[in-house]
């Protein structure tokens, strides 16, 4: 009887998670798709003008899509190499005396609130970039500032998952490589790291999900200008920032269009997860 009850509890918990996802999807698509149809899919996704309160309102989110892609790509370029190399160091090179403080520091990074990251970026990163790239027209709040900040924010996720994946590789992989004449570095980077590729990719995907969905910290450093950027020193507005900044006073079609923006963001995350699933199936070491 106890086993049947617990089986039911576990099944209910699983169904609750599925039901929550389905409910969110229904809400987003039921409210967002009609707004897309009213505005026009091409005008909504490809329009470059965002003037929701004008006499002839425009609801083009193309600049926000480009802004989100640029900021996320910059965070990947900065955060992924640092995160993976830090995980390799912690798994194979780090002395025991340093490991615990370093592990605690990376875990502490994951617990810092987003608004604190935002204040750090606003007070430290933005003035630094403004002074360093003043000759290039950088005003501080830019794609580069948001990319650096997000690169720092995704480090704990990438480091934690990648280190676990590296430690899960059987020791025989390393020993076999060294027995065949490989050096310590060659055994790690040519044998162990490729064997842990599936887990490392999982950490990267989770980091991308946080980067593309981050709101508060990005709003404080990205400039929030709804335009197509010309360089990494320009300010932009992301999809999440657009929703947060306008939702407080939006009503009618404007509000529905913001929900439709959430649909686009949801589709982005879905595409990322599907891409990861495809890569995992093609990876012979995924199992």
Query: For position 125, which CATH number holds?
Result: 1.10.3720.10
* 230-234 LR contacts (CB < 8 Å, sep 24+): 231/136, 231/137, 231/143, 232/70, 232/74, 232/142, 232/143, 232/144, 232/147, 233/129, 233/133, 233/136, 233/137, 233/138, 233/139, 233/142, 233/143, 233/144, 234/142, 234/143
Q: Treating both helix axes as pointing N-terminal to C-terminal, what angle do 155-168 and 62-88 enclose, rounded to 10 degrees?
A: 40
Residue 25 lies in a domain: no
Q: What is the model's pTM?
A: 0.85
Q: How many residues does the chain have?
A: 287
CA nearest 68: which of 206, 229, 253?
229
Instruction: Evaluate whether 272 touches 202 at the Cβ level (below 8 Å).
Output: no
Instruction: State the Cα–Cα distance between residues 154 and 163, nearest whole angstrom.
Output: 14
Question: In this structure, what DSSP letter does residue 231 have?
Answer: S
**Residue 112 neighbours by CB distance under 10 Å:** 14
Report whether pLDDT(287) > 50: no
Q: Domain of 254? A: 61-282
Model confidence over 97-137: pLDDT tens digits? 898 999 998 888 888 888 999 999 999 999 999 988 888 77
Model confidence over 35-51: pLDDT tens digits? 888 888 888 888 888 88
Report whether pLDDT(34) > 50: yes
Instruction: State the Cα–Cα distance between residues 178 and 168, nearest whole angstrom.
Output: 18
Residue 151 lies in a domain: yes
Model confidence over 180-212: pLDDT tens digits? 888 888 899 999 999 888 888 888 888 888 888
Q: How many domains does the chain have?
A: 1
Residue 29 lies in a domain: no
């Amino acid at each position: 009887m106890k086993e049947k009850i617990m089986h039911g509890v576990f099944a209910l918990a699983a169904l609750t998670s599925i039901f929550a996802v389905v409910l969110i999807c229904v809400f987003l698509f039921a409210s967002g798709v009609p707004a897309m149809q009213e505005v026009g899919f091409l005008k909504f996704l490809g329009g470059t003008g965002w003037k929701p309160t004008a006499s002839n309102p425009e609801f083009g989110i193309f600049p926000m899509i480009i802004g989100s892609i640029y900021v996320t790509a910059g965070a990947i370029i900065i955060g992924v190499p640092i995160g993976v190399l830090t995980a390799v160091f912690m798994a194979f090179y780090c002395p025991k005396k340093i490991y615990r403080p370093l592990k605690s520091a990376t875990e502490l990074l994951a617990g810092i609130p987003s608004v604190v990251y935002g204040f750090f970026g606003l007070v430290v990163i933005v003035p630094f970039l403004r002074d360093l790239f003043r000759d290039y027209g950088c005003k501080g709040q830019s794609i580069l500032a948001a990319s650096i900040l997000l690169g720092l924010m995704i480090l704990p996720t990438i480091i934690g998952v990648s280190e676990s994946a590296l430690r899960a590789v059987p020791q025989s992989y390393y020993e076999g490589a060294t027995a065949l004449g490989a050096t310590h570095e060659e055994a790690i980077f040519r044998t162990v790291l490729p064997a842990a590729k599936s887990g490392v990719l999982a950490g990267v995907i989770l980091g991308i999900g946080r980067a593309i969905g981050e709101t508060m910290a990005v709003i404080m450093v990205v400039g929030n200008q709804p335009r197509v950027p010309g360089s990494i020193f320009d300010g932009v507005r992301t999809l999440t920032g657009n929703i947060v900044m306008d939702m407080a006073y939006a009503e009618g079609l404007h509000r529905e269009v913001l929900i439709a923006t959430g649909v686009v963001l949801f589709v982005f995350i879905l595409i990322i997860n599907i891409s990861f699933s495809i890569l995992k199936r093609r990876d012979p070491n995924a199992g």
